Amino acid sequence: MIKRILVRCPVTKKLNVTGLTVDEELFEDAKLKPKDVPCQHCGGTHSWTKKQAILAR
Ligand SMILES: [Zn+2]
């Protein structure tokens, strides 16, 4: 299953769509570098790592 990757905004605590997708089965082993994503909620830019990534249901 291809899932969208979300990260939680540290300011508003809301989920932010990163625009990236990942195959759920490959995610465990996937090597994701820290990325910056423009935040839809607070207007800032957040750097996130795989540890913080949340897969959308
Ligand atoms: Zn934010």
What's the predicted TM-score (pTM) here?
Answer: 0.85
pLDDT, position 8? 96
* Token pair of 35 as six digits: 């990325």
pLDDT (tens digit per residue) in 14-52: 999 999 999 999 998 988 888 899 999 999 999 999 999
Given a cut of 90, whether residue 57 has pLDDT beyond it is no
CA–centroid distance, 7 to ligand 1, in Å, is 9
Q: Is 43 left (phi over 0), alpha (psi -120 to 50) or beta?
A: left
53 contacts 3 by C-beta, under 8 angstroms: no
11 CA from centroid of ligand 1 (Å): 5
Integer Cα distance of 49 and 34 in angstroms? 4
Band of pLDDT at residue 7, cut at 50, 70 and 90: very high
Q: Which residues contact 18 (CB under 8 A, 6 or more apart)?
A: 4, 5, 6, 7, 35, 37, 48, 53
